[in-house]
């Protein structure tokens, strides 16, 4: 049986070298091999997100959600948090914070848009908040927050700026030091393109100081328990708090090595060009995207189809060997599906995805302009 092409929103399309690194046998967490993999991954992650010596990194078992929940370590009893939510994953902060003795308010955007910057600025000016959360790329719609515009405008209005970069980091540029972000978190399996199984985070020294005060976090995800462990790995010394995701870390080490070899700017360009070709191909087909301009991400796209037919398109595509993701945003759930174009994405994947969507739509009774998407996409790629 041939292998299918994974264009889900995460785990994203595999790279042979990255994924085979994870399958190495007999690697203990105290071995030189693992300590090096963890040290290289922590340093590689910091380099990717522009975190200098003022930042401290963590690689935790789990994924994006464990990193989100671990961010509670920076809060205290009665802390107030403003959640800026563009969809399902922005709302996940509400699910997490409602389990802790903190106060929060949620600002929401309609599907396909990002919360208005002046609304965020007004809210943070009018009430006192200890932290604000943003989602770099909202995976339920493909909306990218304009963080470069938002963060400088609110930086001095709140103590901690927390960014969920789960569906962006590795594919969209982000520089925590330049933007003065306190906490940036992500997961191993999306635009970094490693195995699933780890949440990654960098925290500013301003955030790290808050760990010293009594925290409301639980036990496993209390960052105070992981801090010395991570400090050791940063210096290539092993230690134990709880078992790390060994295979995932081996694959992260390889992924960061390949990211360094490609160069981050080139990697971001590749994402931008692939996303551009995908979006223009979709338009040429006569279909629409969920995300509106200027909020379209280079890692995830939502494609609108006729009501009730999205599941059929996803299963027709699966029959052709290409896996997309179903819609999840409650406002438009049965009217769209999602495509991940991140990590190790190449032009050939985009052309294949467009051709698959074309046929899957026709089989689902959705009229599309046949053949035009491929021409448009190939034209964009010919300039590479
Ligand atoms: N935040 C965002 C933006 C995500 O896309 C996801 C995963 N889809 C998560 C958080 C949760 O990550 P995980 O599934 O790895 O726990």
CA 189 – ligand 1 centroid, Å: 9
CA 346 – ligand 1 centroid, Å: 23
> Looking at residue 1, what is its pLDDT?
58
- Nearest Cα neighbor of 260 from 144, 132, 170, 172 is 170
Q: Which is the closest atom of ligand 1 to the Cα of 138? A: 3
pTM score of the predicted model: 0.98
Q: What percent of the chain has pLDDT over 90?
A: 98
Report, in angstroms and rounded to the nearest whole number, the Rg of the chain calculated over CA atoms: 21
Q: Of 261, 291, 310, which residue sits at a domain end?
A: 261
* Mean predicted confidence (pLDDT) in 138-164: 98
Task: Note whether 203 and 80 are same-domain residues.
Answer: yes
Which runs of E-coded beta strand occur in the chain? Answer: 5-6, 55-61, 80-85, 103-108, 131-135, 137-138, 143-144, 160-164, 183-187, 198-204, 288-289, 300-304, 322-323, 325-326, 336-340
C-alpha 139/C-alpha 136 separation (Å) is: 9
Helices 117-126 + 147-154 axis angle, to 10: 20
Task: Note whether 311 and 253 are same-domain residues.
Answer: no
* Mean predicted confidence (pLDDT) in 47-61: 98
Place of tokens 């906490």: 183
> Looking at residue 214, what is its pLDDT?
78
Task: Note whether 248 and 348 are same-domain residues.
Answer: no
Task: Note whether 139 and 45 are same-domain residues.
Answer: yes
CA 338 – ligand 1 centroid, Å: 14
Task: Note whether 142 and 246 are same-domain residues.
Answer: yes
The answer, yes or no, to whether residue 213 has pLDDT greater than 80, is no
Ligand 1 pocket, residues with Cβ under 6 angstroms = 10, 63-65, 89, 92, 135, 139, 164, 166-167, 187
pLDDT confidence bin for 147, thresholds 50/70/90: very high
CA 27 – ligand 1 centroid, Å: 28
> Looking at residue 266, what is its pLDDT?
98
For the stretch 193-207, pLDDT in tens is: 999 999 999 999 999
The answer, yes or no, to whether residue 332 has pLDDT greater than 80, is yes
Q: Which is the closest atom of ligand 1 to the Cα of 135? A: 3
Q: Of 217, 244, 261, which residue sits at a domain end?
A: 261
Task: Note whether 354 and 275 are same-domain residues.
Answer: yes
* Mean predicted confidence (pLDDT) in 136-157: 98
For the stretch 271-314, pLDDT in tens is: 999 999 999 999 999 999 999 999 999 999 999 999 999 999 99
The answer, yes or no, to whether residue 383 has pLDDT greater than 80, is no
The answer, yes or no, to whether residue 183 has pLDDT greater than 70, is yes
The answer, yes or no, to whether residue 86 has pLDDT greater than 70, is yes
Task: Note whether 285 and 240 are same-domain residues.
Answer: no
Task: Note whether 305 and 173 are same-domain residues.
Answer: no
Q: Which is the closest atom of ligand 1 to the Cα of 67? A: 16
Q: Which is the closest atom of ligand 1 to the Cα of 140? A: 5
Task: Note whether 22 and 130 are same-domain residues.
Answer: yes
CA 221 – ligand 1 centroid, Å: 16
Q: Total domain count for the chain?
A: 2
Mean pLDDT (the chain, rounded):
97
Region of 100 on the Ramachandran plot (φ > 0 left; ψ -120 to 50 alpha; else beta) = beta
> Looking at residue 155, what is its pLDDT?
98
The answer, yes or no, to whether residue 343 has pLDDT greater than 70, is yes
Structure tokens at 316: 């027709």
Task: Note whether 243 and 283 are same-domain residues.
Answer: no
Task: Note whether 237 and 279 are same-domain residues.
Answer: no
> Looking at residue 144, what is its pLDDT?
98
Query: Domain range holding 32?
Result: 17-261
Q: Of 235, 261, 287, which residue sits at a domain end?
A: 261
> Looking at residue 105, what is its pLDDT?
98
């Amino acid at each position: 049986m041939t292998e299918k092409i994974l264009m889900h929103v995460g785990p994203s399309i595999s790279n042979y070298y990255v994924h085979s690194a994870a399958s190495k046998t007999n690697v203990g967490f105290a071995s030189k091999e693992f300590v090096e993999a963890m040290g290289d991954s922590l340093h590689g992650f910091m380099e990717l997100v522009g975190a200098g010596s003022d930042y401290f990194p963590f690689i935790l078992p789990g994924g994006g959600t464990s990193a989100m929940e671990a961010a509670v370590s920076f809060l205290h009893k009665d802390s107030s948090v403003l959640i800026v939510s563009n969809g399902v994953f922005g709302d996940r902060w509400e699910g997490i914070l409602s389990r802790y003795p903190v106060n929060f308010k949620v600002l929401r955007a309609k599907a396909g848009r990002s919360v208005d910057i002046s609304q965020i600025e007004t809210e943070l000016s009018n009430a006192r908040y200890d932290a604000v959360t943003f989602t770099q790329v909202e995976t339920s719609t493909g909306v990218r927050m304009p963080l470069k515009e938002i963060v400088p405008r609110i930086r001095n209005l709140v103590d901690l700026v927390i960014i969920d970069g789960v569906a962006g980091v590795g594919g969209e540029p982000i520089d925590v030091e330049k933007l003065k972000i306190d906490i940036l978190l992500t997961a191993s399996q999306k635009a970094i393109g490693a195995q699933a199984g780890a949440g990654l985070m960098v925290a500013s020294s301003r955030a790290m100081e808050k760990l010293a005060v009594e925290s409301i976090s639980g036990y496993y995800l209390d960052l105070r328990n992981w801090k010395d462990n991570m400090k050791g790995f940063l210096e290539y010394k092993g230690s134990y708090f709880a078992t790390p995701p060994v295979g995932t870390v081996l694959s992260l080490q390889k992924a960061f090595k390949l990211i360094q070899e490609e160069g981050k700017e080139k990697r971001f360009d590749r994402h931008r060009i692939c996303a551009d070709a995908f979006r223009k191909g979709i338009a040429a087909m006569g279909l629409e995207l969920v995300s509106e301009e200027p909020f379209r991400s280079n890692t995830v796209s939502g494609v609108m189809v006729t009501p009730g037919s999205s599941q059929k398109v996803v299963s027709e595509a699966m029959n052709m060997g290409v896996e997309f993701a179903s819609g999840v945003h409650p406002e438009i759930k049965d009217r769209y599906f999602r495509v991940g174009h991140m990590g190790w994405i190449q032009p050939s994947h985009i052309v294949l995805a467009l051709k698959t969507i074309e046929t899957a739509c026709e089989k689902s009774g959705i009229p599309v302009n046949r053949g035009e998407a491929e021409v448009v996409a190939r034209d964009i790629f010919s300039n590479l």
